[in-house]
């Protein structure tokens, strides 16, 4: 799509080159947009690489910057948050003053329960306003929240409870999916039973769609507690103090606790709202994600409120709540200026309404830009969305670790011509370099390699992993000293456009959700009859990728492979959760391996996706590849077109 905007040419290259050659001046200026209790002494402390500190010496409160500040500046009556829930047929609006009143009371409630600066609070909640209120209440006290996505099973929640060691857990009685009510409380009870660390108290928000039984002595009723709590004021924290921990999938079954600081986060997100998303105070911005993911943290809760915009919390799906016109209804009803979602949501709409008939029912003239992330925007989805909406469709690339975009197009700085399949250019602050995987040498334009970012990373990025500097270094900065390893492969073209070709590790993306095939393999391997296994991400028309497993049975098991496959599906669902979308497993007589015993997962993936592959010279048994092809066909993969 060709786009011409007058007066912006050159603005990007000026900002980008300043951010790289003089980051202290660039981010020091951006930091003036944030209100500090105590000014920072240094913009960037680079004295202990690879651990960098932004705005050290400074003190602020993120909740103050999200709420109190706007009220002091006269925007108290402006809508801060719109809760739109087609699954409960509710629309509820909160002004900045109303939101601050609720947040202060919930902060008071937490304080009464012993939560203070630095305490951890786990939040396991559906998409209701109380989830955002809980996050902001923690920020108000300088406590560290850790939100866990509702689709995770008790075991995953337990692992996070053990790592974060919360004083209090905040939850709700239930969440509402399209076809069923998910009772959260039994899942929470099970998780606490499984975890070694036990929280002192759990506060449960009761929903009429499914009330929960409270356990005496431990569980408390949210509404009762909030009603009688005294409002709490902001506690000032250091810029470098943690705001939250968000766990994300790595290559093993142990999730990584990504830490976000207060100061760098506020500065970067506020900058991004204006320059990437083109949003001004008072505009309506909608991130159709979930607070359990980084997109929800950054762009449902923090960034729109830091800027003084209006944010939407949508408890629904792109289709089925009630139809594929749901997104257009929300855009039109609430005058949304920009929407941020995952490409999979658009594929779901396209599948049910390819001609866009539902759009005709709504006036969406307020709508200016669609932002997509979480997985690559495939050209088909890009062209379909562009033709339908007739606004720029911007693919931008980022990760839980970075907290905001690494590459993007810039609605509020300079909008570049869009190339389908590319996430456009490096965001100011990110010095993207493509390195050769074996030599670590920098590659030139159009040469594919490992995508890295030259250190230091800009503000807002993870300073470390929760209580694990060593794992941070091993995961991100040891492979290529001086560079941050993104885990993605790809290349830059002659114009500096970024092309993301997918993960180079065992992480997969299922409907925009990041999952570890390694974690699933650990579960499958636990089955008493399984001798060995491999889990890979296979292409899926709707969800981008889905996990599939190949397993070898032990000798003389005496049961059929299909019977065991069903048990494996259930085990993954029980231990990771339904969001894994793990539905297919196939028995094989053997797995393809190199002579040194390494399972050839990359080739198995190509077989499942029916792509060409080269048989490596090091393979132990070339016929094992035919075994995989045949098994993959039986479960609906490796089909020739």
**For binding to ligand COA (CB under 6 A), which residues are involved?**
150-151, 175, 177, 182, 288-289, 293, 295, 317-319, 341-342, 344-345, 348, 373-374, 511-512, 542, 578-579, 581
List the single partner that 400 binds among ligand AMP, ligand COA, none, CB under 5 to 8 Å by kind.
Answer: ligand AMP
Q: At closest approach, how far in Å is the CB of 515 from ligand AMP?
A: 9
Indicate whether 400 belongs to the interface with ligand AMP (CB under 6 A).
yes
Under rule CB under 6 A, residue 248 binds ligand AMP: yes
Q: Would you count residue 487 as binding ligand AMP (CB under 6 A)?
A: yes
Q: How far is the CB of 45 from ligand AMP (least distance, A)?
A: 26
Assess 290 for contact with ligand AMP (CB under 6 A).
no
Cα(491)–Cα(501) distance, integer angstroms: 8
In what order do the strands lie in the sheet containing 120-124?
A: 219-221, 201-205, 168-172, 120-124, 144-147, 242-248, 256-261
**Applying CB under 6 A, which part among 117-125, 193-201, 316-324, 373-381 lies near ligand AMP?**
373-381
The interface region with ligand AMP, picked from 20-28, 214-222, 396-404, 549-557 by CB under 6 A, is 396-404
Enumerate the β-bridge partners of residue 487: none
Q: Cis peptide before 641, with omega less than 30 degrees from 0?
A: no
Asked if 409 touches ligand AMP (CB under 6 A), the answer is no
What's the distance, CA 561 to chain centroid? 35
Phi, psi of 394 (to 5 degrees): -105, 115
Taking the least distance from each CB to ligand AMP, the nearer of 164 and 451 is: 451
Using CB under 6 A as the binding rule, whether residue 374 contacts ligand AMP is answered as yes
Cβ(538)–Cβ(605) below 8 Å: yes
Q: Of 285, 239, 235, which is closest to residue 265 (Cα–Cα)?
A: 239
The CA distance from 2 to 301, in Å, is 32
Closest CB to ligand AMP among residues 510, 585? 510
Of ligand COA, ligand AMP, none, which one sits near residue 375, judging by CB under 5 to 8 A according to partner kind? ligand AMP
Query: Of these partners, ligand AMP, ligand COA, none, which one is at the site of residue 325 (CB under 5 to 8 Å by kind)?
Result: none
d(CA 296, CA 520): 25
Residue 509 binds which one of ligand COA, ligand AMP, none, with CB within 5 to 8 A depending on kind? ligand AMP
175 binds, among ligand COA, ligand AMP, none (CB under 5 to 8 A by kind): ligand COA
Among 105, 260, 334, 514, binds ligand AMP (CB under 6 A): 514
φ, ψ for residue 511 (rounded to 5)? 50, 45
In whole angstroms, give the CA distance from residue 47 to residue 27: 18
Nearest alpha carbon to residue 371 among 388, 389, 394: 394
Among 189, 375, 587, 609, contact with ligand AMP (rule: CB under 6 A): 375
**Percent helix, strand and coil across the chain, each rounded to 5?**
35, 25, 40
Residue nearest to ligand COA (CB): 512
Q: Which does 289 bind (CB under 5 to 8 A by kind): ligand AMP, ligand COA, none?
A: ligand COA
Written as one string, the DSSP assignment of 465-493 is: BTT-HHHHIIIIISSSTTEEEEEEEEEE-
- Tell me the C-alpha distance between 416 and 98, whole Å: 39
Distances (CA, A) of 611 to 92, 400, 550, 633: 49, 30, 18, 13
Residue 451 CB, nearest approach to ligand AMP (Å): 9
The region of 4-12, 164-172, 283-291, 394-402 touching ligand AMP under the rule CB under 6 A is 394-402
Q: Which does 369 bind (CB under 5 to 8 A by kind): ligand COA, ligand AMP, none?
A: none
Kindly list the residues in this chain that would bind ligand AMP in the complex (CB under 6 A): 248, 294, 373-376, 395-400, 423, 487-488, 500, 503, 509, 514
């Amino acid at each position: 799509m060709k786009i011409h905007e007058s007066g912006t040419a050159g603005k990007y290259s000026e900002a980008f080159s300043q951010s790289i050659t003089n980051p202290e001046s660039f981010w020091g200026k951006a930091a003036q947009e944030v209100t500090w209790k105590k000014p920072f002494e240094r913009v960037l402390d680079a004295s202990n690489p690879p651990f960098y500190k932004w705005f050290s010496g400074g003190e602020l409160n993120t909740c103050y910057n999200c709420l109190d500040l706007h009220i002091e500046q006269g925007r108290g009556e402006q809508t801060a948050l719109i809760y739109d829930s087609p699954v409960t047929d509710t629309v509820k609006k909160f002004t900045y003053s109303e939101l601050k009143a609720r947040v202060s009371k919930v902060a008071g409630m937490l304080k009464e329960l012993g939560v203070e600066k630095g305490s951890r609070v786990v939040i396991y909640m559906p998409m209701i306003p109380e989830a955002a209120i809980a996050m902001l209440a923690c920020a108000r006290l300088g406590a560290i929240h850790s939100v866990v996505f509702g689709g995770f099973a008790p075991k995953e929640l337990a692992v996070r409870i053990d790592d974060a060691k919360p004083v209090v857990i905040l939850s709700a009685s239930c969440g509402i999916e399209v076809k069923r009510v998910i009772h959260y409380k039994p899942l929470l009870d099970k998780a606490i039973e499984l975890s070694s660390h036990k929280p002192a108290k759990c506060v449960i928000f009761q929903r009429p769609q499914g009330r929960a039984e409270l356990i005496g002595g431990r569980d408390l009723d949210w509404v009762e507690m909030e009603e009688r709590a005294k409002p709490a004021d902001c506690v000032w924290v250091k810029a470098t103090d943690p705001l939250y921990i968000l766990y994300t999938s790595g290559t093993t079954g142990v999730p990584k606790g990504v830490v976000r600081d207060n100061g760098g986060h506020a500065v970067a997100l506020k900058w991004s709202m204006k320059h990437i998303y083109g949003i001004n105070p008072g505009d309506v911005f909608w991130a159709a994600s979930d607070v359990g993911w980084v997109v929800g943290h950054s762009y449902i809760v923090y960034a729109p409120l830091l800027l003084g915009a209006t944010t939407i919390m949508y408890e629904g799906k792109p289709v089925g709540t009630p139809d594929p016109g749901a997104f257009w209804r929300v855009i039109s009803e609430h005058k949304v200026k920009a929407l941020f979602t995952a490409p999979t949501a658009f594929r779901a709409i396209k599948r049910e309404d390819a001609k866009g008939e539902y759009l005709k029912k709504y006036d969406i003239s307020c709508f200016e830009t669609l932002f997509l992330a979480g997985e690559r925007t495939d050209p088909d989805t890009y062209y379909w969305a562009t033709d339908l909406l007739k606004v720029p469709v911007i693919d931008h690339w980022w990760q839980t670790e970075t907290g905001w975009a690494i590459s993007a197009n810039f609605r509020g700085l300079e909008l570049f011509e869009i190339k389908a399949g590319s996430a456009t250019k490096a965001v100011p602050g990110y010095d993207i370099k493509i390195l050769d995987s074996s030599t670590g040498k920098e590659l030139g334009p159009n040469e594919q390699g490992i995508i890295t970012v030259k250190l230091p990373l800009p503000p807002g990025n993870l300073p470390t992993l929760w209580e694990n500097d060593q794992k941070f270094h091993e995961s991100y900065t040891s492979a290529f000293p001086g560079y941050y390893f993104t885990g993605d492969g790809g290349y830059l073209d002659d114009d500096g456009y970024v092309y993301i070709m997918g993960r180079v590790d065992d992480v997969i993306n299922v409907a925009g959700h990041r999952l570890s095939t390694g974690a699933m393999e650990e579960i499958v391997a636990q089955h008493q009859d399984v001798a060995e296994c491999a889990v890979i991400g296979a292409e899926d028309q709707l969800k981008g990728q889905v996990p599939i497993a190949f397993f070898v049975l032990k000798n003389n098991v005496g049961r059929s492979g299909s019977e065991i496959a069903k048990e494996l599906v259930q085990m993954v669902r029980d231990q990771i959760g339904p969001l894994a979308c793990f539905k297919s497993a196939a028995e094989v007589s053997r797995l393809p391996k190199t002579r040194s015993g390494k399972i050839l997962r990359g080739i198995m993936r190509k077989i499942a996706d029916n792509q060409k592959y080269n048989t490596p010279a090091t393979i132990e048994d070339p016929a094992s590849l035919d075994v995989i092809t045949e098994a993959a066909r039986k479960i609906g993969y490796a089909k020739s077109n």
